[in-house]
Amino acid sequence: MHIHNLSNTPSVLNSFVSEIRDKSIQKDSLRFRRNIERIGEILGYELSKSLQFETHKTETPLGVSETTLHKKDIVLCSILRAGVPLHNGLLNYFDAAENAFISAYRHHKHDPESFEIVVEYLACPSLENKTLILADPMLATGQSMVATFEALKPFGNPKEVHLVSVIGAQQGVDLISKAFSNNSHLWIAAIDETLNDKGYIIPGLGDAGDLAFGNKLQQ
Ligand code: URA
């Protein structure tokens, strides 16, 4: 897997990541969602440089402009619910993309420190020979990405796979590096040190879904 950790090159992206982490700024959910969306736009822009391009002629009022445009074969898949603002950011740039949504959540049976990933709702177009972008803002254990990819298999074999995350833990990055093929890509804004007992990224930012959409009752 090709890992593109964008924090290795300091840029304006770091300001948005710093704001979503900051415990006073992140409480403003409108700003939190917009910052995640802005991060999605930047990750999408960086990712776009690795897509396949083809020559295109555009007729202007005064002549013909020849340029290269990326192939319009993208399926953008996000994991509900935390993935929605990241999805919006990516869709702002890949506005012709087809879209897929999947729900994946951590089901704690008895022990609050152990869980399994349950995949339920899934709506997806054909993935056969398409460019799949799979977005999950928090790459903690990596199990959601792997479970989601498994659930997408009946929809066809994508020709390229790009995973997009905002913050990851090294453990999650290691897991998906093993689970995904060598020619897939991870585009990520920051990789943190570790996970706590409950599987939250440390230092991370807390619960991305709650910060974007409000607290949920744990089941
Ligand atoms: N999901 C989150 O929202 N935050 C984490 O730290 C890990 C998973």
Our mutation pick for probing the ligand 1 site, out of 80, 166, 200, counting the most ligand atoms within 8 A of Cβ, is: 200
Q: Is residue 145 part of a domain?
A: yes
Q: Whose CA is nearest to atom 7 of ligand 1?
A: 200
Q: Is residue 60 part of a domain?
A: no
Q: Is residue 55 part of a domain?
A: no
Q: Is residue 124 part of a domain?
A: yes
Total domains, the chain? 1
pLDDT tens digits for 43-98? Answer: 999 999 999 999 999 999 999 999 999 999 999 999 999 999 999 999 999 999 99
Please report, rounded to a whole number, the percentage of residues in the chain having pLDDT higher than 90: 90
Q: Whose CA is nearest to atom 4 of ligand 1?
A: 207
Domain enclosing residue 163, as ranges: 2-50+72-213
The CA distance from 211 to 205, in Å, is 9
Q: How far is the CA of 42 from the centre of ligand 1 (A)?
A: 21
Please give the number of the atom of ligand 1 that sits closest to the Cα of 211: 3
Q: Is residue 64 part of a domain?
A: no
Q: Is residue 58 part of a domain?
A: no
Percent helix, strand and coil across the chain, each to the nearest 5: 35, 35, 30
Q: How far is the CA of 206 from the centre of ligand 1 (A)?
A: 6
Average pLDDT over residues 25-31: 98
Residue 118: pLDDT band by 50, 70, 90 thresholds? confident
Residues in the chain: 219
The CA distance from 75 to 163, in Å, is 12
Q: What is the CATH number of the domain that holds 209?
A: 3.40.50.2020
For residues 173, 108, 101 and 81, what is the CA-based torsion angle, rounded to 10 degrees?
-90
Please give the number of the atom of ligand 1 that sits closest to the Cα of 140: 7
Please report, rounded to a whole number, the percentage of residues in the chain having pLDDT higher than 70: 99
Q: Across the strands, what pairs with 69?
A: 54
Whether the model clears a pTM of 0.85, i.e. scores above it, the answer is yes
